[in-house]
Structure 1
Amino acid sequence: MVVDDSAIARGIVVRTLQEEPGIEVVASVPNGLMALKAMAAHDMDVVVLDIEMPELDGLAALPRLLEAKPNLKVIMVSSASQRDADISLKTMAMGAADYVAKPSAGLGGAESFRAELVRKVRAHAASRKPAPKRPPREKPPVREVAATAPVPIRRRAAAEKRCPELIAIGSSTGGPQALAEVLRDLAPRITQPILITQHMPATFTTLLAEHMSRYSGRPAAEARDGETIEAGRIYIAPGGKHLLVEPRAAGGLLVRLDDGPPENSCKPAVDPMLRSLARVFGEKLLVVILTGMGNDGLKGCEVVAREGGRVLAQDRETSVVWGMPGAVAQAGLCEEILPLRQIGPAIARIAGGEGK
């Protein structure tokens, strides 16, 4: 279902989706009230929901849509303004699956917007979990562990005995919620700098840093080119720039923002950050790959593993999309594949001096 008060925008989104094989738009409505009525008349997997609408806007409609169908995947569509970006982040905390930012020049020629929308609709439809059913009495549910069982890893044995000096996190779809939980669960004794690449456009990353500062109780900000990396701080790759590091002549590290081409169709991308960090820290680097579509982070984690660094990944069950962590896990690069709630404690265990 497509929900947008602009008939032009709604028409463009509907045509974009209808042209894709395997995607059917079953309803197209101009506001949240009509969306709720359409929910009762149609079966749907994904809702593309605008924020600014009359009668019942996207912010107010979201919880009612999810109450009516808890396993529904809702993708918010907003402008790239600071206000709408902030609302988009809030809606993900309320249960929205994802967001797509409208281009400032309009949707008419916005090929990147349409490609991103199609990609996210497909990914969320594929990842949608069926509504829970009561199991038959004579057949109690059997827990399947194969999908998230540990796989063989390739790393230097010495890495297990080294306390990391820096923590790097890569995330994408579902990342803001996952990051908030991981950072909130970190023990105060963890003072290593934390570098984060989350797939987001500019403006969104500025607000993400503000949100992460509130959740974690640590100073968090978009990284600035040339600034010194300090203990206890969180640095977030700004939208449109890759986050790298380089050693200072006088000791310590500097942030370097790279304006090179996208990698894995992303900018910022996780791979450039991990390659840069692996060269500097080697076995003293801890990497965490959280929920996200695609395989950004895979090649970077290969470099990290070769240099003796340690890699953790979020498990399939708690990931919104098990693309990025799944790629790293299936390549045999992880020493642990963990549910989201166990990742913060695992970081604290490893970075707090275990085996130092």
Structure 2
Amino acid sequence: MRGQSTSAEAKPRSTDPYRVMLVDDSAVIRGLFTRFLEADPDVKIVASVGDGQRAIDTLKNSDVEIIVLDIEMPRMDGITALPELLKVDPSVQVVMASTLTARNAEVSLRALSLGAKDYLTKPSSTSEMTGAADFPSDLLSKVKAFGAQRRRKSGARAPVAVSGAAARAAALKNAPAGAPRAAAPPARGAARNDITLRKPSGRRADVIGIGSSTGGPQALFRVLTDLPKTVKQPILVTQHMPPTFTTILAEHITKTSGWVCSEAKSGDVVAPGRIYLAPGGYHMTVKAEGAEKVIVLNQEPPENFCRPAVDPMMRSLVKAYGRVLAVILTGMGHDGREGCRAVVEAGGDIVAQDEQSSVVWGMPGAVAQAGLCCEVLPVSEIGASVNRLARG
């Protein structure tokens, strides 16, 4: 908490921390967000306002990198303010925040199409917010990831601890494997140099599996719109999303792409030329029952801190089908990497989204740097690639 910097264990404040503006009509919520975020020395709240119009006015006169923007506010709501904020600063990173309702899910997905980078589901009460261990870490990880993304694209440096390079190097050395490293992104171009592509198998896939997270909805819309309806394999999609959001996302995929997409249910018989989306809160797997492939949902523990997770879906597709064409799109973390390893070991192929077109190059980067991909492409080229590879 602020005011405790004299503690022996407190981290020193960074120089040039990520600069955040909070926009919410509740001063209590803004206070909690400030406490959660400024507990990290790499984040500084530079503005805190109560409606969209004040946010626009403030952005014109403040150096802000990330905005956490509430949807429901008096005077001017978040969805109205969003395009105006991006007119003031097209590079500002906006995360929409809302409670979990069908209306807010719909508005949040619309906000992504208008330029928001991501969404955040707020607990319905302050007591739930302070008691939910996942929410503060989720908020902080998104803010730091988008702050790092903005600086990486602009060529600016990430926050630097006042204790110097030695402390920074030690922090990286001691970070747990797979931990988010938003505060210290790799050198520009370094990730690409680590990629070794595999030769495509040349065999027809039996099924297509797609995994995505942060920035995933827009990437999914683009890939599936570009994918010809002549592709006959069933397509199973795991997008990291909470309940309600996945229901709305399935409807949007159908409207946007022309494919028939449904939120999966246990017992669904997988049909060719259809898309099945993992519902929020459930891992989606497939098992063989005679000649049929049947969807099985479960609420087993999260994998890679996610449920639904990509890894269990990929493992089950390998077991049920054999040859899998896997696609990993933009997202934080490394979910999908081990599932894709199983795909490759079974003779399947992997396509990953490239760093430049990804909102966050975590999941696709993890798969690419593990040497599992036969292609790493801009999102605009993935639909054609999937069409080609699916035929074999």
Give yes or no for TM over 0.5. yes
Aligned to 1:186: 227
Aligned to 1:140: none
Q: In the TM superposition, what are the counterparts of 1:281-300 in structure 2 within 5 Å?
A: 281-282=321-322, 284-300=323-339
Q: 1:39, 1:329 → 2: CA distance?
A: 37
- Residue 319 (structure 2) aligned to one of 276, 279, 285: 279
Does residue 65 of structure 1 match 2:85?
A: yes
Q: 1:346, 1:131 → 2: CA distance?
A: 26
Q: Please report how far the alpha carbon of residue 146 of structure 1 lies from its aligned counterpart in structure 2 after TM superposition.
A: 6.3
Does residue 176 of structure 1 match 2:217?
A: yes
Q: In the TM superposition, what are the counterparts of 1:191-202 in structure 2 within 5 Å?
A: 191-202=232-243
Q: 1:214, 1:238 → 2: CA distance?
A: 18
Partner of 1:177, secondary structure, is: helix
* Structure 1 residues 149 and 193, CA gap change in structure 2 (3 angstroms): farther
- Residue 152 (structure 1) aligned to one of 193, 196, 209: 196
Q: 1:101, 1:230 → 2: CA distance?
A: 33
Partner of 1:108, secondary structure, is: helix
Q: In the TM superposition, what are the counterparts of 1:227-242 in structure 2 within 5 Å?
A: 227-242=268-283
Aligned to 1:348: 387
Contact 2:194 2:369 in 1 (8 A): no
Contact 1:150 1:337 in 2 (8 A): no
Contact 1:264 1:296 in 2 (8 A): yes
Q: 1:86, 1:95 → 2: CA distance?
A: 15
One-letter code aligned to 2:357: T
- Residue 58 (structure 2) aligned to one of 38, 45, 68: 38
Partner of 2:69, secondary structure, is: strand
Q: In the TM superposition, what are the counterparts of 1:291-330 in structure 2 within 5 Å?
A: 291-330=330-369
Partner of 1:256, secondary structure, is: strand
Q: 2:100, 2:25 → 1: CA distance?
A: 18
Aligned to 2:263: 222
- Residue 7 (structure 1) aligned to one of 23, 27, 30: 27
One-letter code aligned to 2:205: P
After superposition, what is the alpha-carbon deviation per residue over 1:148-172, rounded to whole angstroms, capped at 9, x for unaligned? 4683346xx7x62211121100000
Q: Please report how far the alpha carbon of residue 293 of structure 1 lies from its aligned counterpart in structure 2 after TM superposition.
A: 0.5
Aligned to 2:167: none
Q: 2:46, 2:29 → 1: CA distance?
A: 17
Q: Please report how far the alpha carbon of residue 10 of structure 1 lies from its aligned counterpart in structure 2 after TM superposition.
A: 1.2
Contact 1:71 1:130 in 2 (8 A): no
Aligned to 2:295: 255
* Structure 1 residues 145 and 38, CA gap change in structure 2 (3 angstroms): closer
After superposition, what is the alpha-carbon deviation per residue over 1:169-193, rounded to whole angstroms, capped at 9, x for unaligned? 0000000000000000011211211
Q: 2:43, 2:130 → 1: CA distance?
A: 21
TM-score by length of 2: 0.83
Q: Please report how far the alpha carbon of residue 265 of structure 1 lies from its aligned counterpart in structure 2 after TM superposition.
A: 0.6
Q: 2:64, 2:329 → 1: CA distance?
A: 27
| Structure 2 residues without counterparts, runs of 5 or longer | 1-20, 156-187
Aligned to 2:94: 74
Q: 1:30, 1:180 → 2: CA distance?
A: 33
Aligned length: 338
Q: 2:250, 2:243 → 1: CA distance?
A: 11
After TM superposition, what 4+ stretches of structure 1 lie above 6 angstroms from structure 2?
A: 130-133
Q: 1:342, 1:9 → 2: CA distance?
A: 41
After superposition, what is the alpha-carbon deviation per residue over 1:41-96, rounded to whole angstroms, capped at 9, x for unaligned? 22111000000011111001000111111111000001100000110000001000
Q: 2:101, 2:247 → 1: CA distance?
A: 11
Q: 1:100, 1:85 → 2: CA distance?
A: 10
Contact 1:150 1:335 in 2 (8 A): no
Q: In the TM superposition, what are the counterparts of 1:17-36 in structure 2 within 5 Å?
A: 17-36=37-56
Partner of 1:77, secondary structure, is: strand
Q: 1:44, 1:98 → 2: CA distance?
A: 17
Contact 1:71 1:129 in 2 (8 A): no
Contact 2:219 2:330 in 1 (8 A): yes
* Structure 1 residues 131 and 336, CA gap change in structure 2 (3 angstroms): closer
Q: 1:301, 1:130 → 2: CA distance?
A: 27
Q: 1:15, 1:132 → 2: CA distance?
A: 28
One-letter code aligned to 1:279: K
| Structure 1 residues without counterparts, runs of 5 or longer | 134-143
Contact 2:312 2:339 in 1 (8 A): yes
Aligned to 1:335: 374
Q: 1:152, 1:305 → 2: CA distance?
A: 14
- Residue 131 (structure 2) aligned to one of 94, 109, 118: 109
Point out which structure has higher relative CO (alpha carbons under 8 A, 6+ apart): 1
Q: 2:389, 2:194 → 1: CA distance?
A: 17
TM-score by length of 1: 0.91
Partner of 1:128, secondary structure, is: helix
* Structure 1 residues 145 and 117, CA gap change in structure 2 (3 angstroms): closer
Aligned to 1:125: 147
Aligned to 1:141: none
Q: Please report how far the alpha carbon of residue 13 of structure 1 lies from its aligned counterpart in structure 2 after TM superposition.
A: 0.8
After superposition, what is the alpha-carbon deviation per residue over 1:207-249, rounded to whole angstroms, capped at 9, x for unaligned? 0000011112111111000110001111000000001000012
Q: 2:117, 2:104 → 1: CA distance?
A: 16
Partner of 1:287, secondary structure, is: strand
After superposition, what is the alpha-carbon deviation per residue over 1:119-154, rounded to whole angstroms, capped at 9, x for unaligned? 111111111157779xxxxxxxxxx97644683346
